[in-house]
């Protein structure tokens, strides 16, 4: 992917206040100069980046149900996880898929990389497509609890209508899969 | 939309530490009891929620280019903005569309509501579809600077391949628009 970056309307950092450094995210407040010379503050969450996988077995996508503390409830999502320091995103996708579902995959194809919340966070999420999977045994992290199932496109759309699937990465994966089924490309 | 919520694998909050309260987000660390009885911490960003609009004029979707401080560069995105306290999401979508592009719309249709980063944030984003637009004048917030343009699906997909479009909501909107063009429904 050729990447073209623009700095139009750049906001120049005058000062950065470090607020918090956690296990996963950190938070800072930047004091910036706007294009019109005025000052403003920007609340910014730093995140190591993450991966997720649209993994299709016999015409069904693999999903996992897990509790999401920020939402106070469980969600059905495609397998995903954050990047370890220095980890290659494709290797991370392969690792997360196997840890959460037990399935091993051959070649992975990058569908898209996207920022989840560019207004306040730098989290970049890499979405991969995997076929040709081999079943095996899941091996979860010690603080990870989840159930795995496999859905047709119609079932997944029904989950979406019911609100059981309601996160950006899984909905993006669903639409990308539909586009692939209808047009042969993502 | 009928919403079915599950509490499977619930993590019970034992203590909440308030870390930061900003203009837009706040941050807390929850100490939780896992299903196996062990303790863990969860870093949680609270966000008021936001809206975004897939607005189509003469077969082209409206997009705005703006600087995203967390990314350190400009991005091309569909019109979007956070909810004001107590604001109806559909009214917010109408307001943001008019503020950022000058276009007024009649009926809006909810395509989907989704969590952008359910692992660490509760931001819920409502994606609307708007047609039958009437051109007018943009009126931006005083700390808002952006350019508006209108893209065909092919142009938008090229922007995506080039990395000029690279955020979850715009990519979801793109795929949803493609699904609508191909199947007549979102």
Angle at A109 between CA A103 and CA A112, to 5 degrees: 115
Count Cβ neighbours within 10 Å for each residue of B130-142 and write b for 16 or more, e otherwise. beebeeeebeeee
Catalytic positions of A, please? 142
- For B182, name the nearest residue in chain A, comparing CA atoms only: A182
pLDDT at B4: 65
CA B155 distance to own-chain centroid: 21
A43 in reach of chain B (CB within 8 A)? yes
**Complex-level ipTM:** 0.95
Residue with token string 């149900």: A65
What phi and psi, each to the nearest 5 degrees, are found at residue A31?
-95, 120
List of chain A residues whose C-beta atoms are within 8 Å of the C-beta of residue B120: 24-25, 45, 47, 70
Alpha carbons B19 and B36: distance in angstroms, whole number = 27
- Nearest Cβ partner of B9 from A34, A77, A145? A145
> Is B38 within 8 Å of A143 when comparing Cβ atoms?
yes
Per-residue pLDDT band for A3 (boundaries 50, 70, 90) equals low
User: What's the pLDDT tens digit per position in B77-135?
Assistant: 999 999 998 999 999 999 999 999 999 998 899 999 999 999 999 999 999 999 889 98
What is the average per-residue pLDDT within B148-170? 96
Cα(B31)–Cα(A16) distance, integer angstroms:
28
Structure tokens at B38: 């062990």
Interface test with A, best of B119, B140, B156, B158 (most A CBs within 10 A): B119
- Cβ–Cβ under 8 Å, residues A78 and A54: yes
d(CA B55, nearest CA chain A) in Å? 18
- Would you call B70 and A2 a contact, using CB atoms and an 8 Å cutoff? no
Could you say which DSSP state residue A102 is in? -
pLDDT tens sequence across A132-163: 899 888 888 888 898 999 999 999 999 999 99
pTM of the predicted protein model = 0.95
Domains of chain A: 12-46 (no CATH), 50-183 (3.90.79.10)
Task: Examine the pLDDT at B1 and tell me if it is beyond 80.
Answer: no
Judge whether A185 is closer than 8 Å to chain B, CB to CB. Answer: no
Task: Answer whether B106 touches A (CB < 8 Å).
Answer: no
- Cα–Cα distance, B77 to B63 (Å, whole number): 5
Of B44, B116, B122, the CB nearest to A116: B116
Interchain CB contact of B148 with A (< 8 Å): no
Between the CA atoms of A11, B92, A75 and B30, what dihedral angle is there, to the nearest 10 degrees? 60
What letter would DSSP give residue A71? Answer: T
Instruction: Work out whether the CA dihedral B153, B157, B158, B163 comes out positive or negative.
Output: positive
Asked if B25 and A45 count as a contact pair (C-beta separation under 8 A), the reply is yes
Interface test with B, best of A63, A70, A73 (most B CBs within 10 A): A70
User: If residue A170 lies in a helix (H) or strand (E), which one and from where to where?
Assistant: helix A168-183
pLDDT digits (tens, 9 = 90+) for A49-71: 999 999 999 999 999 999 999 99
Q: What is the DSSP string of chain B?
A: -----B-TT--EEEEEEEEEE-SS-EEEEEEEE-TTS-EEEEEEEE---EEEEEEEETTEEEEEEEEETTTTEEEEE-SEEEPPTT--HHHHHHHHHHHHH--B-S-EEEEEEEES-TTTB--EEEEEEE-S-B-------TT--EEEEEE-HHHHHHHHHHTSS-BHHHHHHHHHHHHHHHHS--
- CA pair distance A118, A5, nearest whole angstrom: 14
- Position A2 scores a pLDDT of 55
Nearest CA in chain B to A45: B70
* C-alpha separations of B100 from A132, B20, B92, B97 in Å: 45, 30, 12, 5
**Residues counted in chain B:** 186
pLDDT (average), residues A162-171: 97
Q: Note whether B126 contacts A: Cβ–Cβ < 8 A.
A: no
> Does A90 score more than 90 pLDDT?
yes
| Cross-strand partners of B41 | B31
* CA A24 vs CA A47, A50, A140: distances in Å: 7, 11, 18
Q: How many residues does chain A have?
A: 186
Select from B29, B82, B117 the residue whose CB has the most chain A CBs within 10 Å, as the one to mutate to test that interface: B117
Rounded to whole angstroms, the Cα distance separating A105 from A128 reads 11
Residue in A38, A122, A175 nearest the CB of B176: A175
What is the Cα–Cα distance from B165 to B172, expressed in whole angstroms?
Answer: 11
Set of chain A residues whose Cβ sits within 8 Å of the Cβ of B178: 175, 179, 183
Active site amino acids of B: 142
Q: What is the mean pLDDT of residues A32-36?
A: 96
Q: How far apart are CA A148 and CA A53, in angstroms?
A: 13
Q: What distances in angstroms separate CA A38 from CA A12, A14, B26, B142, one per listed residue? A: 11, 12, 24, 9
Q: What is the pLDDT of residue B141?
A: 84
The answer to whether residue B59 neighbours chain A at the CB level (below 8 Å) is: no
B139 versus B3: which is more confidently predicted?
Answer: B139
């Amino acid at each position: 992917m050729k990447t073209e970056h623009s700095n139009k309307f750049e906001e120049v950092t005058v000062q950065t206040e470090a607020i918090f450094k956690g296990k996963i995210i950190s938070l800072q407040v930047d004091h910036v100069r706007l294009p019109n010379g005025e000052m403003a503050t920007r609340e910014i969450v730093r995140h190591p980046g993450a991966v997720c996988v649209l993994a299709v077995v016999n015409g069904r996508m693999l999903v996992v149900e897990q509790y999401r503390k920020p939402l106070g409830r469980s969600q059905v999502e495609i397998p995903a996880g954050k990047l370890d320091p220095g980890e290659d995103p494709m290797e991370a996708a392969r690792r997360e898929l196997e840890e959460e579902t037990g399935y091993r995959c051959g070649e992975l194809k990058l569908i898209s990389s996207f920022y989840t919340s560019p207004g306040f966070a730098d989290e970049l999420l890499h979405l991969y497509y995997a076929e040709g999977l081999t079943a095996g045994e899941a091996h979860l992290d010690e603080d990870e609890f989840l159930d795995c199932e496999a859905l047709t496109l119609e079932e997944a759309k029904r989950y979406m209508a019911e609100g059981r699937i309601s996160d950006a990465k899984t909905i993006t994966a669903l639409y990308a899969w539909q586009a692939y089924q209808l047009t042969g490309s993502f």
